[in-house]
């Protein structure tokens, strides 16, 4: 189970880096909530939210991932994942400061995982409150 969640996150981050809107939308459930602004309202349109996040926070960066922890309870999983932004100009550079993103995943009736809550800011969201 953990591997399929890991694969979903990998697909999602790669799609964000490539601007692949079709793959991005397939990573989220129909009722997903996206936290794309620290003090903004949660957004339901995953593509619009991710585009806003890219425009504001990473116009010249790529997302790379690090360690993650998956805690499953039935068909729901909490995922804490390290995310790094690296400059597009030097994509092989060693990332220096990671963020801890929080995700809530839900297993669909077909057994596939979809993201239902995506919080790029993780617990840092508390610093904006």
The structural domains of the chain, ordered by start, are 2-128 (3.10.450.50)
Distance CA 44, CA 35 (A): 9
**Using 50, 70 and 90 to split pLDDT, how confident is the model at 112?**
very high
Q: Is the pLDDT of residue 10 over 50?
A: yes
Distance CA 112, CA 129 (A): 34
Sheet strand arrangement including 61-73:
28-35, 113-119, 98-107, 76-87, 61-73
**Using 50, 70 and 90 to split pLDDT, how confident is the model at 3?**
low
In this predicted structure, what is the pLDDT of residue 1?
46
Q: Which residues pair with 117 in a beta bridge?
A: 33, 104
For 71, the 3-state DSSP assignment is: strand
Which residue, among 103, 101, 20, has the nearest Cα to 64 in the 3D structure? 101
Mean pLDDT over all residues of the chain?
A: 83
């Amino acid at each position: 189970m953990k591997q399929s969640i890991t694969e979903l996150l990998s697909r999602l981050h790669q799609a964000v880096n490539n601007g692949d809107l079709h793959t991005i939308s397939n990573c989220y459930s129909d009722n997903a909530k996206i936290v794309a602004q620290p003090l903004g309202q949660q957004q339901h349109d995953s593509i619009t939210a991710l585009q806003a996040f890219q425009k504001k926070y990473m116009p010249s960066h790529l997302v790379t991932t690090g360690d993650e922890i998956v805690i499953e309870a039935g068909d729901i999983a909490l995922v804490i994942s390290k995310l790094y932004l690296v400059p597009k100009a030097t994509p092989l550079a060693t990332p220096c400061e990671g963020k801890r993103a929080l995700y809530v995943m839900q297993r669909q009736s077909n057994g596939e995982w979809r993201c239902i809550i995506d919080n790029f800011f993780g617990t840092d969201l508390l610093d904006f409150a």
